[in-house]
Structure 1
Amino acid sequence: MTIYTQRLVIRHLGLDDYPQYADLTSQPEVESGAGFNLINNPQMIQSALKRQLRAPGSYGIFKGSQLIGAILLFKRIGKGGRPDDHHLEMSYFLTPTCWRQGYMSEAITGLIANLRGHPLVESIVAEVFVDNKRSTALLKRLKFAFVTEMRDPIVGRQKVIYELKLT
């Protein structure tokens, strides 16, 4: 699936995108916001990034041929501890030089429009650290509803959870 917006192309990421993806995720602002800074071993980081690139829900945000961000969709764990096809969890990040220009809003809007046409997907959940005001504002603009606030058990920081119902 490839999505074209006014300024961007959103498409599945693959192993061919590894060099640009590694550069993107190694930027300090992206690294800390996405939790990549929690992995100290370079081989583990490389392995984790390649797993993400092979995942069916990994989308790159391209401006021309340049990878400027990513949206990662994962099946949420449902009742009984099994992946739930109907409910997705979304992570996203953008190169800092593209912040505050509407690119992420444009990309997520395009992806949501595409997912609304997918009969299986009923909702998308996004988790954001409380201190990430821009990301929280983005989710609110995109009509995600506040669900709860909690302490992240791995990072030890407060985060908020938002959900968008598609059906």
Structure 2
Amino acid sequence: MAIYTKRLMIRALSVADDYAAYAALTALPEVSAGAGFDLISNPRMMPSALKRQLRSPGSYGLFKDDELIGAILLFERIGQSGQASEQHAEISYFLAPSAWHCGYMVEALMALIEELQQRQVIKTIVAEAFSDNQASINLLKRLGFSFVTELRDPIIGRQKVVYELVLSPICG
């Protein structure tokens, strides 16, 4: 499946086609720190971690003129019961710093959310952002996400905010 927007193509990532570009993108200091890749203390573990992400069915690349400029990672959310639910998802996303503040992520997320609404499987999407990442918080608000709570990330030790989007069923 590929989704086309005015400026982007969004498609599933794969190890065979996208590993080198994905590794280069996640190695950028701003991306690594913001997405938590810098928490992997053993550099030899990074290729394995990246390949696992690329194999995940919810890993999408954002391509502009055939260049990977970002990613959206969509995972089944683990509920209070400890079980994953395909009806509830958690989303994370990142862009190359050269693509920041150009509207690419809002464009991509709007298109992906529309696609998910049409599929009518996922009912809610949760997203977290660092409390000081105003651009990401503004993005979530613009997309219709509602504030849920603020918490201190136990691994990173930084404040985060949690937002949720309830997908509206499409009537046909």
Fold in common (TM above 0.5):
yes
Match of 2:69 in 1: 68
Shift of residue 80 of structure 1? 2.3
Residue 23 (structure 1) aligned with residue 17 (structure 2): no
Shift of residue 79 of structure 1? 3.9
Match of 1:132 in 2: 133
Residue type of the alignment partner of 1:138: L
Taking the TM superposition and a 5 Å limit, the aligned residue runs for 1:40-59 are 40-59=41-60
Counterpart Cα distance in 2 of 1:164 and 1:104: 16
Shift of residue 78 of structure 1? 1.8
Runs of 4+ that moved beyond 4 A: none
Count of residue pairs brought into register by the alignment: 167
Match of 2:13 in 1: 13
Residue 150 (structure 1) aligned with residue 151 (structure 2): yes
Taking the TM superposition and a 5 Å limit, the aligned residue runs for 1:29-40 are 29-40=30-41
Identity percentage of aligned residues: 61
Counterpart Cα distance in 1 of 2:10 and 2:81: 33
Counterpart Cα distance in 2 of 1:81 and 1:135: 28
Q: Which whole-Å deviations, capped at 9, do the CAs of 1:78-118 have from their partners, x for residues lacking one?
A: 24211101000000000000100000000000000100011
CA RMSD in angstroms comes to 0.7
Match of 2:119 in 1: 118
Range 71-80 or range 142-151, more displaced:
71-80
Q: Secondary structure at the match of 1:21?
A: helix
TM-score, length-scaled by structure 1: 0.98
Counterpart Cα distance in 2 of 1:130 and 1:86: 27
Q: Secondary structure at the match of 2:60?
A: strand
Residue type of the alignment partner of 1:121: I
Shift of residue 119 of structure 1? 1.8
Counterpart Cα distance in 1 of 2:44 and 2:59: 20
Shift of residue 31 of structure 1? 0.3
Q: Secondary structure at the match of 1:146?
A: strand
TM-score, length-scaled by structure 2: 0.95
Q: Secondary structure at the match of 2:148?
A: strand
Q: Which whole-Å deviations, capped at 9, do the CAs of 1:114-165 have from their partners, x for residues lacking one?
A: 0001121101100000011100011011110000000001101000000010
Residue type of the alignment partner of 2:161: V
Counterpart Cα distance in 1 of 2:81 and 2:146: 25
Q: Which segments of 5 or more consecutive residues in structure 1 lack a partner in the other structure?
A: none
Residue 165 (structure 1) aligned with residue 166 (structure 2): yes
Shift of residue 40 of structure 1? 2.2
Q: Secondary structure at the match of 1:72?
A: strand
Counterpart Cα distance in 2 of 1:37 and 1:124: 25
Match of 1:141 in 2: 142
Q: Secondary structure at the match of 1:81?
A: coil
